[in-house]
Amino acid sequence: MTNNAPRSVEEYLRQLRAALKNEDPALIQDALYDAEEYLRAEVAAHADKSEADVLELIASTYGAPDEVAAAYRDTEIKVAAALRAPPKPPASGALGRFFGIFSDGRAYAGLLFMLFSLATGILYFTVTVVGTSLSLGLAILIIGVPFFITFIGVTRVLALVECRLVETVSGVRMPRRPHHPGPPQNFWSRVVSMVTDRRTWTTLAYNVLMLPVGILYFTLAVVGVAVSLALIAAPVFETIRALGGFDPDSALGRGGIHMEPQWLSAPGGLLLCFIVGVLLLTLTLHASRGITRGHAALAKSMLVLP
What local confidence, expressed as pLDDT, does residue 225 receive?
95
What local confidence, expressed as pLDDT, does residue 190 receive?
73
What local confidence, expressed as pLDDT, does residue 220 receive?
96
95 within some domain: no
**Pair 207, 156: CB distance under 8 Å:** no
Residue-wise pLDDT for 205-261, tens only, equals 999 999 999 999 999 999 999 999 988 988 877 777 766 655 555 555 555 545 455
Question: CB-based contacts of 106: which residues, under 8 Å, 6+ apart?
Answer: 85, 169, 170, 171, 289, 292
141 and 276 within one domain: yes
What local confidence, expressed as pLDDT, does residue 1 receive?
46
**Pair 38, 12: CB distance under 8 Å:** no
Helix, strand, coil share of the chain (percent; to 5): 75, 0, 25
* Predicted structure pTM score: 0.78
Find the range with the poorest average confidence among 190-204, 215-229, 291-305: 190-204
Question: CB-based contacts of 80: which residues, under 8 Å, 6+ apart?
Answer: 173
124 and 197 within one domain: yes
89 within some domain: no
Q: How many domains does the chain have?
A: 2
229 and 281 within one domain: yes
Query: pLDDT-based confidence at 187, cuts 50/70/90?
Result: low
94 within some domain: no
108 and 78 within one domain: no
**Pair 288, 221: CB distance under 8 Å:** yes
246 within some domain: yes
Find the range with the poorest average confidence among 33-47, 57-71, 213-227, 229-243: 229-243
Find the range with the poorest average confidence among 90-94, 175-179, 274-278: 90-94
211 and 73 within one domain: no
Side chain identity at residue 140, one-letter code? I
The residue that leads in pLDDT, 56 or 182, is: 56
Share of the chain above pLDDT 90, in %: 32
The residue that leads in pLDDT, 47 or 281, is: 281
1 within some domain: no
What local confidence, expressed as pLDDT, does residue 123 receive?
95
Taking the C-alpha atoms of residue 138 and residue 113, their distance in angstroms, rounded to an integer, is: 36
189 and 70 within one domain: no
303 and 247 within one domain: yes
180 within some domain: yes
241 within some domain: yes
What local confidence, expressed as pLDDT, does residue 185 receive?
67
108 and 52 within one domain: no
Query: pLDDT-based confidence at 110, cuts 50/70/90?
Result: very high
Residue-wise pLDDT for 253-295, tens only, equals 555 545 455 545 566 777 888 899 999 999 999 999 999 999 9
Residue-wise pLDDT for 3-25, tens only, equals 577 888 888 889 999 999 888 88
What local confidence, expressed as pLDDT, does residue 47 receive?
81
**Pair 298, 159: CB distance under 8 Å:** no
148 and 75 within one domain: no
Question: CB-based contacts of 112: which residues, under 8 Å, 6+ apart?
Answer: 169
44 and 135 within one domain: no
**Pair 168, 112: CB distance under 8 Å:** no
Question: CB-based contacts of 74: which residues, under 8 Å, 6+ apart?
Answer: none
Q: Which of 88-102, 106-120, 183-197, 233-247 has the highest mean pLDDT?
A: 106-120
For residue 71, give its domain range: 9-83
Cα–Cα distance list, 218 to 84, 166, 277 (Å): 28, 16, 19
167 within some domain: yes
Taking the C-alpha atoms of residue 206 and residue 30, their distance in angstroms, rounded to an integer, is: 21
158 and 69 within one domain: no
Q: What is the 8-class DSSP label of residue 100?
A: G
pLDDT at 179 over 80: no
63 and 113 within one domain: no
What local confidence, expressed as pLDDT, does residue 266 receive?
66
